[in-house]
Structure 1
Amino acid sequence: MREKELRLVVTFHTTADAMAMEKACREHDVPGRLIPVPRSISAGCGLAWCAPLAEREKLCAVMEEQGIGPEGLHECPVCV
């Protein structure tokens, strides 16, 4: 069984926002990956960006710069 680790999970209103986040993070070398939204979180889109907690400020800066509006930022255990 894979271990769960506390991570920052960013949810989005639309799949287009999730895809834009993936592209922006790749361009700005921000670690993370798209994952299905964990069951413990309710979101409009079925995809979320999962990243280390330490990357919160960097992620928020990238979203603001790129005009990506998150639905929510959550700290929750995720399989790594």
Structure 2
Amino acid sequence: MRKKELKVVAAFHTTADAMAAEQACAVHGVPGRLIPVPRTLSAGCGIAWCSPIEERERLVGALEADGVEYEQIAEVAV
């Protein structure tokens, strides 16, 4: 079993927001990927963006710069 690491996870209200976040992160060079929302969080669409913990500020900046709405951003072991 893979060891869990602390990551920054952004959860979204809609799938469209999750897809927009993926695009925003690609444009702004924020590493990460879309994942199912971890059980410790809840979100409307069930999809979240997961990035290394040290990328939190860049992630928030990319989402806000592109006007992507998010439900919550949390640090979670995934």
Which TM-score band (shorter chain)? over 0.9
The aligned residue for residue 16 of structure 1 is: 16
Aligned-partner Cα distance in 2 for 1:29–1:67: 16
Aligned-residue CA RMSD (Å): 0.7
1:69 Cα deviation (Å)?
1.2
Gaps of 5+ in 1: none
Q: Would you say how many aligned residue pairs link Structure 1 and Structure 2? A: 78
Query: 1:4 is paired with a residue of what secondary structure?
Result: coil
1:43 Cα deviation (Å)?
0.9
The aligned residue for residue 29 of structure 1 is: 29
Query: 1:70 is paired with a residue of what secondary structure?
Result: coil
1:5 paired with 2:5, answer: yes
- CA deviation map 1:42-75 (0-9, x unaligned): 1111100000111111111111110011100111
Bigger share in strand: 1
Query: 1:9 is paired with a residue of what secondary structure?
Result: strand
Aligned-partner Cα distance in 2 for 1:74–1:38: 10
The aligned residue for residue 43 of structure 2 is: 43
The aligned residue for residue 59 of structure 1 is: 59
Gaps of 5+ in 2: none
1:40 Cα deviation (Å)?
1.3
- CA deviation map 1:12-49 (0-9, x unaligned): 00000000010111121110100000111111111000
Aligned-partner Cα distance in 1 for 2:20–2:4: 26
Q: How high is the TM-score relative to the length of structure 2? A: 0.95
